[in-house]
């Protein structure tokens, strides 16, 4: 895999071009002047360019549009770069599988939305050629179609869980291994915005136009995040994070292959991890308060036993 030499003429020129986009001074002539560099870069250099700009900005979300324009300008290079094949035990293997699943969801969402808008246009044309009385009638099919699109969006649970996994599993490893990691700040902000837009799409709207405006923003955010994961974040993270630090659930790869290895069953499980009995017991012991559970028969089932606690002895 090609590793980046941090300071080279191409990244310097790419930084210049991104600054032009931010200052709204990059037109066709500027693109052509930088085209050779834009079409010959790689994910590592793109990540460094983004970090150079985003690390110096307090409000990274304000750069959403110029960063999107820059990534579109280097898309030819990103899409021709040979992405690695992520090993089965690697964290990126399951994350990339989720990315592909969400791309299918996004494609389905786009096709359905286009079909609904085509139906709306046909309905408007029919109404305009009919009598005034019929033109005021509400098309029930239009409302049902929108509800179908909303149901599709509401039924997808992978989007939010995928963002949680990125934020709690991959981002910390990436920030630890890669000095130039400011791109995740913008991705995190865009993920939060995407989930907020999802809620807005599923809410009640005062007009069809308002719905489509919100839906368009939601779809745009979903798409740009999926693209950046696949073409920038995942390849760079795979190249920078040591393999033993990026295995599923933090279990070393050599241990994962050992069929005799067994973890103690987890008592607490969340989307970002789990805790077994021993860890939970230590957590409860360190809390500066007593925690006790009484069963339905009024018998003590569990107590936390902190220092200077109220319980002395074992549960009955």
pLDDT tens digit sequence for 297-314: 888 777 777 665 555 555
**Within a domain: 310:** no
**Within a domain: 4:** no
Say if residue 41 is in the same domain as residue 160: no
Least confident of 133-142, 190-199, 200-209: 133-142
Say if residue 190 is in the same domain as residue 287: no
Q: What is the mean pLDDT of the segment spanning 110-135?
A: 77
**Within a domain: 19:** yes
Say if residue 98 is in the same domain as residue 226: yes
DSSP assignments along the chain, one per residue: -PPP-SS-HHHHHHHHHHHHHHTT---HHHHHHHHHHHTS--HHHHHHHHHHHHTT-S-GGGGHHHHHHHHHHTHHHHHHS-PPPPPTTBHHHHHHHHHHHHHHHHHHHHHHHHHHHHHHHHHHHHHHTS-HHHHTS--HHHHHHHHHHHHHHHH--HHHHHHHHIIIIIHHHHHHH-S--THHHHHHHHHHHHHHHHHHHHS--SSHHHHHHHHHHHHHHHHHHHHHIIIIIHHHHHHHS-GGGSBGGG--HHHHT-TT--PPPEEEEETTEEEEHHHHHHHHHHSSS--EEE-TTS-EEEE---TT-S--S---
Say if residue 148 is in the same domain as residue 275: no
Among 80, 115, 137, identify where a domain stops.
Answer: 80
Say if residue 181 is in the same domain as residue 138: yes
* Structural domain containing residue 102: 91-248
Please say if the pLDDT value at position 260 is more than 80: no
Say if residue 70 is in the same domain as residue 104: no
Q: What is the mean pLDDT of the segment spanning 67-94?
A: 96
Among 55, 80, 105, identify where a domain stops.
Answer: 80
Say if residue 162 is in the same domain as residue 228: yes
Which range of 18-27, 133-142, 245-254 scores highest in mean pLDDT? It is 18-27
**Within a domain: 257:** no
| Total number of domains constituting the chain | 3
Percent of the chain scored above 70 by pLDDT? 80
Least confident of 96-110, 135-149, 224-238: 135-149
Among 80, 109, 125, identify where a domain stops.
Answer: 80
Say if residue 95 is in the same domain as residue 68: no
**Within a domain: 308:** no
Please check whether residue 172 is in contact with residue 50, taking contact to mean a CB–CB distance below 8 angstroms: no
Say if residue 164 is in the same domain as residue 212: yes
Say if residue 104 is in the same domain as residue 187: yes
**Within a domain: 16:** yes
The pTM of the full predicted model, rounded to 2 decimals, is: 0.76
Q: Write out pLDDT tens, residues 206-226.
A: 899 999 999 999 999 999 999
Say if residue 31 is in the same domain as residue 131: no
Please say if the pLDDT value at position 27 is more than 50: yes
Reference 46, options 173, 171, 180; nearest CA is 180
Please say if the pLDDT value at position 271 is more than 70: no
**Within a domain: 315:** no
Please say if the pLDDT value at position 265 is more than 60: no
Please say if the pLDDT value at position 134 is more than 50: no
Say if residue 97 is in the same domain as residue 218: yes
**Within a domain: 254:** no
Q: What is the mean pLDDT of the segment spanning 241-257?
A: 64
């Amino acid at each position: 895999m090609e590793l980046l030499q941090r300071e080279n003429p191409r990244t310097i020129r790419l930084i210049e071009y991104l600054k032009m986009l931010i200052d709204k001074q990059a037109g066709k002539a500027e693109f052509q002047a930088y085209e050779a560099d834009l079409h010959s870069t790689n994910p590592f250099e793109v990540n460094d360019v983004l970090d150079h700009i985003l690390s110096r900005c307090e409000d990274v979300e304000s750069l959403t549009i110029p960063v999107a324009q820059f990534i579109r300008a280097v898309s030819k290079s990103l899409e021709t770069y040979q992405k690695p094949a992520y090993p089965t035990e690697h964290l990126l293997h399951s994350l990339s599988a989720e990315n592909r699943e969400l791309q299918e969801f996004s494609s389905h969402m786009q096709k359905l939305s286009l079909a609904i808008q085509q139906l709306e246009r046909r309905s408007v044309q029919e109404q305009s050629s009919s009598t005034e009385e019929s033109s005021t009638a509400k098309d029930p099919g239009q409302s049902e179609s929108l509800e179908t699109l909303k149901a599709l969006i509401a039924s997808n649970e992978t989007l939010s869980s995928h963002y949680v996994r990125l934020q709690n599993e991959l981002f910390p490893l990436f920030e630890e291994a890669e000095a130039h990691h400011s791109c995740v700040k913008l991705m995190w902000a865009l993920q939060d915005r995407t989930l907020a837009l999802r809620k807005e799409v599923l809410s009640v709207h005062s007009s069809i136009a308002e719905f489509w405006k919100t839906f368009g923003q939601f779809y745009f955010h979903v798409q740009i995040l999926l693209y950046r994961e696949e073409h920038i974040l995942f390849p760079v993270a795979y190249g920078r994070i040591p393999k033993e630090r990026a295995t599923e659930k933090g279990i070393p790869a050599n241990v994962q292959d050992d069929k005799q290895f067994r973890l103690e069953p987890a008592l607490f499980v969340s989307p970002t991890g789990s805790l077994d009995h021993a860890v939970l017991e230590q957590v409860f012991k360190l809390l500066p308060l007593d925690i006790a559970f009484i069963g339905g028969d009024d018998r003590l089932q569990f107590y936390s036993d902190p220092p200077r606690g109220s319980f002395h002895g074992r549960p009955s």
